Amino acid sequence: MIAGELSSASNRALMFALGNLVKGTVLSEANFEVSVREAREKCRACSREFRLAPPFFCCPACGKPASSIEEGRKVYIDYYEGE
């Protein structure tokens, strides 16, 4: 599972929720891993890609404020393995 660093989802809370979600199911013995994906932005003014480092959300090249966050806001399952 991937948790964006701006998603407000902590690893600990996700692991707790997943553990409770699968109790009593065929997934009760499953192992879960949560990785944090850093927040990234592509500046619309100068096209530079950079990491968003709160609390500063401005392009380090031209100083324009971030207008769209490319990565780092979502929580999603990126893969699973099973038999």
Binding site for Zn ion (CB under 5 A): 43, 45-46, 48, 59, 61-62, 64
Residue with smaller CB distance to Zn ion, 32 or 57: 57
Please, which contacts does 57-61 make with residues 24 or more away whose CB atoms are closer than 8 Å?
Answer: none
Read off the tokens for 68: 């769209």
Nearest approach, Cβ of residue 47 and Zn ion (Å):
7
Least separation in angstroms between CB 66 and Zn ion = 9
Q: Which is nearer to Zn ion, 13 or 61 (CB)?
A: 61
Report the run of H or E that residue 69 belongs to, with start and end: strand 69-71
Nearest distance from C-beta of residue 9 to Zn ion, angstroms: 28
Nearer to Zn ion by C-beta: 48 or 74?
A: 48
- Residue 14 CA to residue 43 CA, distance in Å, equals 31
Look at residues 37, 44, 36 and name the one whose alpha carbon lies nearest to residue 62: 44
